[in-house]
Amino acid sequence: MNNHSIRKPEWLKIKIPAGKEYVQVKDIVNRHKLHTICTSGLCPNIADCWGRGTATFMILGDICTRSCKFCATKTGVPAPLDPAEPLNVAKSIKLMRLKHCVITSVDRDDLPDCGATHWAETIRQVKKLNPETTLEVLIPDFLGKSHLIQTIIDTGVEVISHNLETVRRLTPKIRSAAKYDRSLEVIKQMANSGLVAKSGIMVGLGETNDEVLQTMDDLLAVGCSVMTIGQYLQPTKRHLPVAEYVHPEQFEKWKEAGLRKGFRFVESYPLVRSSYRAERHVIKDKTV
């Protein structure tokens, strides 16, 4: 279906960024030459999150070695790693006085360790300068190399996340290098470590309801305890078109189904993204 024939519904209207907190976060990010998935990924929640004084930092630069058909992040040949980045991220989190923060990254398949050492150093610096801040990391698959994944697990983050992004059938079409079963293995290793394991998918790409429910079962089978479900929005005309704008009522049904199946937390709504209101997952886990 051609997405130009689908009119964007009212529930997907996005607030224009504004406000004192938004400007303050933007200033800190720019001053420390940091990258955020909020801007690189054209996140629809930037006004809400930055307005609350929170942000999701993106490390390892802003150019990805992969070219997934859904993602707005730039792709190509990345620049060398910035050795000052770990400390700059840590300082920025302190300036923002964040109680909880999320860190993600581009894929760096060009590096021997896929960026795992830089990842671990960033987490160490963040925890050193911000001992009271809880931390969630949204990691790539590190080409499925378990020792690299373990490098991140061993830093002691509170929540570790890796997104499936979509259902099994659509994975080859949507994700340029990642594999569905490899991602499940990554999530299984995360869950077996004892940390809160989290994953997320987008809908509106042509998946069926049964496929979404099967994806829930696949995630639960490897120990995933937190799941996010959000609407895919086409970043540019070069990206995959939207097949369907899913009604909020369906998102609520998926949330209820996921909780019945056994997830500890399900965040399911059109504008939900993997890091949106992520602090609630830590709070939820502590009360279970």
In tens, the pLDDT along 152-187 reads 999 988 889 999 999 999 999 999 889 999 999 999
* CA gap 63, 76 in Å, rounded: 6
pLDDT at residue 107 tops 60: yes
The answer, yes or no, to whether residue 96 has pLDDT greater than 60, is: yes
Homologous superfamily of the 13-287 domain (CATH) = Aldolase class I (3.20.20.70)
What pLDDT shows up at residue 45? 47
- Residue 280 confidence class, pLDDT cut points 50, 70, 90: low
How high is the pLDDT of residue 38? Answer: 45
What does the DSSP 8-state code read for residue 15? P
Domain ranges of the chain: 13-287
Which tens digits make up the pLDDT trace of 35-90?
544 444 444 444 455 444 456 788 998 899 998 887 877 889 999 999 999 998 99
For residue 168, count other CB atoms closer than 10 A to its CB: 16
Dihedral sign of CA atoms 182, 39, 117, 153 in order: negative
The helix/strand/coil state of 150 is helix
CB distance 42 to 14 below 8 Å:
no
CA distance 103 to 56: 6
Residue 250 has pLDDT above 90, yes or no: yes
User: What are 25's two structure tokens?
Assistant: 């976060």
Label residue 12 by pLDDT band (50, 70, 90).
low
Sequence-distant (≥ 6) Cβ neighbours of residue 154 within 8 angstroms: 120
Q: Give the tens place of pLDDT for each residue, 213-230.
A: 999 999 999 999 999 999
Report the mean per-residue pLDDT for the chain. Answer: 83
**Mean per-residue pLDDT for 82-106?**
88
Average pLDDT over residues 180-198: 96
DSSP 239-259: SPPPS----HHHHHHHHHHHH
The tokens for 138 are 């949204």
pLDDT score at 148: 98
Residue 144 — very low, low, confident or very high, per pLDDT cuts 50/70/90? very high
pLDDT at 189: 97
pLDDT for the residue numbered 97: 77
Give the residue among 14, 3, 6 at the shortest CA–CA distance from 50: 14
The predicted pLDDT at position 29 comes to 60
pLDDT of residue 26: 59
Cα-based distances in Å from 110 to 78, 172, 252? 8, 21, 40
Q: How buried is residue 34: exposed, middle or buried, by Cβ count under 10 Å (0-12/13-18/19+)?
A: buried
> For the purposes of burial, counting CB atoms within 10 Å of the CB of 284, is it exposed (0-12), middle (13-18) or buried (19 or more)?
middle
The predicted structure's pLDDT at residue 99: 77
